[in-house]
Amino acid sequence: MRSTSLLLTLALLAATPAAARNNDHYYEFKGKRYATYEQCMAARKRSEKRGAIAGAAAAGVGAALLGGGVGESLLVAGGGALVGKELGKSSKRKC
């Protein structure tokens, strides 16, 4: 009886660290941690869209203020959107 309780106690002590282990698997994008890959990719896509919109707006307004015509402003805005999208998705660690 005594050996059974001793073996049971040792088994419980050996299993405790394995059960208490933390799940360190996560996805990171721009310094924020996400539990799933889908959440991380959604944040990345949002960042790309925001960057494209901001780049297009800034470049288009800048070209119009500097005296560019409609065609030139639209062309510069398209280039700004491409640059903004690339800047928006850049990160040290990818999803």
Per-residue pLDDT tens over the stretch 1-54: 566 666 556 666 666 555 555 557 788 888 888 999 999 889 888 988 999 999
Which pLDDT belongs to residue 30?
A: 81
- CA 35 to each of CA 26, 30, 41: distance values in angstroms, whole numbers, following the listed order: 5, 14, 11
Which pLDDT belongs to residue 27?
A: 86
**List of residues 6+ apart from 57 with CB closer than 8 A:** 77, 80
Which pLDDT belongs to residue 68?
A: 87
Query: CA-CA distance, 77 to 62, in Å (whole number)?
Result: 9
Q: Please give the torsion angle defined by the CA atoms of residues 22, 24, 30 and 32, in that order, rounded to the nearest 10 degrees.
A: -20
